[in-house]
Amino acid sequence: MHPLAIRFQELFGEAPEIIAAAPGRVNLIGEHVDFLDGFVLPFAISDLTTVAIARTSSNQIRVASLQKEGVISKVEANKLEPKSGEAWTRYPVGVLWSLGIKSGLDILVDGQVPLGAGLSSSAALECAVATAVNELFNLNLSLPELARATQRAENIYVGMPCGIMDQSVSLMATKGNALLLDTRDLSTEQIPFDIAPLGLELLVIDTQVHHALVDGGYAERRASCEKAVADLGITSLRDISVSEFVARKAELDEKTYLRAFHGVTEMQRVLDAVALLKAGDFVGFGEVVTEAHQSLRDNYTVSCPELDLAADIANKFGALGARMIGGGFGGSAIALIKAKDGELIKSEIKDGFMKAKFKNPRFFSALPSAGAAILN
Ligand code: GLA
């Protein structure tokens, strides 16, 4: 029996009907463009959030988590309203709301994706629930449909205006590949990212600065990009070339211009990065990754001193490229490094953080892993 089934039985006095898991992610490139019809290139990490679920004859949804010993949170299944229930349960309950599930359920969560580290623990939870419920209720929804439903849960039920990258990769990732996702129509291409045989490693540096994306910075920047689209009278930042955008600079105020400039150039960087990967040019790829960091720092202004320092030190000690990932204001950076330089880079970053009086960073090595799956 799956260990989570045993815990479920102890807690709820019955066996779960279904167990599903979904991964967190890192994003190689394509940041803050997944609400702008842009391209993104994330991959799923091996850390998973697992959920066990059973239907009940009551009208209650009971949610418990192995990470919150002794708490069983309850909401009425037929009275789900956006933002109701305790904050941490809004992710799983929001997915039920989004999928139109109104029956009583018991849900037990085991979240092994580090929280607040910019590795999409929330999308992992949403996608694990969506995968389980899709099967349990025979909804027969496709992966793009599940991605849209989980994004809707986060946008409306949780109240975070995220794009669709995190949910899509958590659902659609395949082992060994990064996912080139066109967020305009959710079409995908699997891009091999098998770097270990080349002596390379993708180092994840968790700055331990915990971000709270639900507060304003993310939404405010997204609004700037939408303002640029309106001011320029175009359908999307996807539909304007970098040169045309630059030529129309005078039509935008400075802040709107810089933020949208990030969006337009970042979409191009993703395509450049994919071409370089396909050509096996990891040096060129690393340079584009570092350019993305500079744009997030200087144009989009979502970095922070810890992320900048982590990326700078990694590059100084031999990384091919490094940058912040995810929403920003904290969380993690990635560095594409030669595996043999790993210990040196980690110890230099630790030292640098200590000297700057930052928190002690944590390090992971990330390998492209599979997307959501039913486990029983
Ligand atoms: C967060 C959001 C994503 C995406 C990234 C930035 O992770 O959830 O939709 O916008 O930030 O690329």
Q: For the segment 102-134, what is each residue's pLDDT rounded down to a tens digit?
A: 999 999 999 999 988 999 999 999 999 999 999
User: Of the residues 166, 206, 308, 341, which is catalytic?
Assistant: 166
pLDDT at 208: 96
**What is the fold of 196-365?**
Alpha-Beta Plaits (3.30.70)
Domain residue extents for the chain: 3-192+370-374, 196-365
Residues, the chain, total?
A: 376
pLDDT at 162: 96
User: How far is it, in rounded angstroms, from Cα 108 to Cα 372?
Assistant: 17
Mean pLDDT of the residues in the chain: 97
Confirm whether 3-192+370-374 and 196-365 share one CATH topology.
no
What does the block give as tokens for 330? 């904290």
What does the block give as tokens for 283? 């040096």
**Which atom of ligand 1 approaches the CA of 120 most closely?**
7
**Which atom of ligand 1 approaches the CA of 35 most closely?**
10
Q: Which of 39, 3, 1 is nearest to 178 (CA)?
A: 39
Q: For the segment 233-291, what is each residue's pLDDT rounded down to a tens digit?
A: 999 999 999 999 999 999 999 999 999 999 999 999 999 999 999 999 999 999 999 99
The conformation of residue 114, written as its DSSP 8-state character, comes to P
Mean pLDDT confidence for 327-332: 94
The conformation of residue 1, written as its DSSP 8-state character, comes to -
CA of 171 to the centre of ligand 1 (A): 15
Contacts of residue 184, defined as CB under 8 A and 6 or more positions apart, other chains included, come to 37, 38, 236, 238
327 lines ligand 1 (CB under 6 A): yes
Work out whether the CA dihedral 121, 125, 126, 130 comes out positive or negative.
positive
- Is the pTM here over 0.95, yes or no? yes
266 lines ligand 1 (CB under 6 A): no
Domain 3-192+370-374 of CATH type 3.30.230.10: yes
Q: For the segment 178-193, what is each residue's pLDDT rounded down to a tens digit?
A: 999 999 999 999 999 9
330 lines ligand 1 (CB under 6 A): no
263 lines ligand 1 (CB under 6 A): no
